Chains A and B, each alone.
Chain A
Amino acid sequence: MNAWLEKKIIALGDGFMSIARAFGQGWLFMLLLVGALPASIVRVSAWIRQLYFAGVLSLPIILVAGLFVGMVLALQAYNILVNFNATETVGVMVALTLLRELGPVVAALLFAGRAASALTAEIGLMKSTEQLSALEMMGLDPFVRIFAPRFIAALIALPLLTMLFNVLGIFGGYLIGVEALGIDTGTFWSQMQAAVEWQEDVMGSVIKSLVFALVIAAIALFQGAQCLPTAEGVSMATTRTVVHSSLAVLGLDFVLTALMFD
């Protein structure tokens, strides 16, 4: 009995210690990352290059997804609102749903799948092939050279992508609502203008996407830096990046919504 109890207590202590260790490593990593930002932000060409990989190469999936999300939103909204003779509000519904929730969240999920997984895989492979150690051997800080430029690029890329996602979504809603289903153009836009607040809705969208970018980039870089230096380790770290950042985005979205649109 005593031995059994002792085993349980040891297991509890071990579990708690490993959680504490993971937290400590995470915070230490963030601290080093933030510390490397000033030195990294002046190396413009380094993070412009990452902005190309994270941002420009994610454009096709973001734009196409935005268009179709807007189109399907308009179609569903129309099918319900036509019962109440309120089809003019389709534009309002599409714009507000996109700006407040779907735009930042779906763009962030796509970004996590398209760009963050690539970040983890890249850094994981660099670690496996000991390129990070080689940099340190040469006296170069991998945080300044490798991590921070990618972090900055993600922080810039996701808000831009989210804005484009929103615009394409509203355009998709316009295509279906006005061009296909015959809602009046004038009321479509004027009702939208009356309902959408620049500061609360449009800027709220940008703030949400900034927070998501921060979390996704931190998770992706941390998982890359922490992965086991094997082929299996890299693949597991990549999977963890997508799972953790998707869950973090969905959870944080609820918190941010509760804070911003009370």
Chain B
Amino acid sequence: MQATRKMEFWVGLMVLMALLGSLFMALKVSNFGKLAGLQDGDTYPVTASFSDIGGLKPRSKVTMGGVVVGRVRSISLDTQTFKALVTIDIDRTFTNIPADSSASILTSGLLGDQYIGLEPGGDDANLSAGSKIEHTQSAMVLEKLIGQFLVKLSEK
């Protein structure tokens, strides 16, 4: 009986250690909880349509002044306008983003991941759940840029 108690103690200790390890993983190592859970209670959805999203992916970050304020939830194609419809989850703590703010798809660094940058507008009304960002700027696609450059060169 004594030996069994000892074994149970050690097994319990190992499980406890593993649980503490997962806690460490959640809080310190991974982005668990930092807009990663995407619970509906913590965020509100807004939509924006872009003519070209480039390399934007679901879970890409949405920033305002460089600070992460949300994440891209989903990307789909609007079959009426043939534009990409991007749904963004914005953190509930940012409630006073002006409704006429503009969204543009930017690249972090020269070759980094693409993300959405929000530029504040001047409207008194604020973005709320389900509202649509009207002013958008598409991703800069390198091939198109080079193409335009070549066309300009040949025109000369």
- Chain A interface residues toward B at CB < 8 A: 45, 48-49, 51-52, 55-56, 59, 95, 159-161, 163-164, 166-167, 170, 189, 192-194, 196-199, 201-202
Question: Could you show 14 A-B contacts with beta carbons less than 8 Å apart?
Answer: A48-B8, A49-B4, A52-B10, A56-B7, A160-B15, A163-B21, A163-B25, A167-B21, A167-B24, A167-B25, A193-B30, A196-B30, A196-B31, A198-B25
- Asked whether B34 lies within 8 Å of A193 as measured between CB atoms, the reply is yes
Cα A181 to Cα B50 in complex, Å, equals 45
Contact: B14 with A59, CB < 8 Å? yes
Contact in complex: A163, B31 (CB < 8 Å)? no
Min Cβ gap A183→B in Å is 16
Chain B residues positioned under 8 Å from A170 (CB to CB): 29
Given A49-B4, A56-B11, check contact A189 B28 (CB 8 Å): yes
Task: Determine whether the beta carbon of A51 is less than 8 Å from that of B11.
Answer: yes
Q: Do B10 and A56 have beta carbons less than 8 Å apart?
A: yes
Cα of A191 to Cα of B102 in the assembled complex, Å: 28
A48→B22 CA distance, assembly (Å): 21
Considering the complex, give the chain A residue whose CB is closest to the CB of B31: A193
With A55-B14, A198-B36 as known contacts, state yes or no: A45 contacts B4, CB within 8 Å: yes
Measured in the bound complex, the distance between the Cα atoms of B37 and A198 in whole Å is 9
Say if the beta carbon of B129 comes within 8 Å of chain A.
no
Decide yes or no whether B64 CB sits under 8 A from chain A: no
Task: Tell me the complex Cα distance, A48–B13, Å.
Answer: 12
- CB-contact partner of B30 in A160, A161, A202, under 8 A: A202
A193 to B25, CA, bound (A): 9
* Nearest-Cβ distance from residue A133 to partner chain B, whole angstroms: 27
| B17 is an interface residue with CB less than 8 A from chain A | yes
> Which residues of B come within 8 Å of A, CB atoms?
4, 7-8, 10-11, 13-15, 17-18, 21-22, 24-26, 28-32, 34, 36
| Given A95-B29, A201-B30, CB of A166 within 8 Å of CB of B11 | no
Minimum CB distance partner of B21 in chain A = A167
**Knowing A56-B10, A193-B34, A198-B36 touch, does A160 contact B18 (C-beta < 8 A)?**
yes
A192 adjacent to B29 (CB under 8 Å): yes
Q: How far, in whole Å, are A196 and B33 apart by their CA atoms in the complex?
A: 12
Whether B25 pairs with A202 at a CB distance below 8 angstroms is yes
Interface centre among B10, B29, B32 (most CB of A within 10 A): B29
Q: CA–CA, A196 to B24, complex, Å? A: 13
- Given A199-B36, A202-B26, output 18 extra A-B contacts at Cβ < 8 Å: A48-B7, A48-B8, A48-B11, A49-B7, A51-B14, A56-B13, A56-B14, A159-B18, A164-B18, A164-B21, A166-B21, A166-B25, A167-B25, A194-B31, A197-B31, A198-B25, A198-B26, A198-B30
Are B31 and A198 interface neighbours, CB within 8 A?
Answer: yes
The 8 closest A-B pairs by CB, nearest first: A198-B32, A160-B18, A167-B21, A52-B7, A198-B30, A196-B30, A56-B10, A163-B21
**In the complex, A167→B24 CA distance in Å?**
8
CB distance from B79 to the nearest CB of A (A): 27
Contacts of B32 in A (CB 8 A): 198, 202
Task: Point out the residues of chain A lying under 8 angstroms from B30, CB to CB.
Answer: 193, 196-198, 201-202
Interchain nearest-CB distance for A124 vs B (Å):
23
Query: Which residues of B lie under 8 Å from residue A48 when comparing CB positions?
Result: 7-8, 11
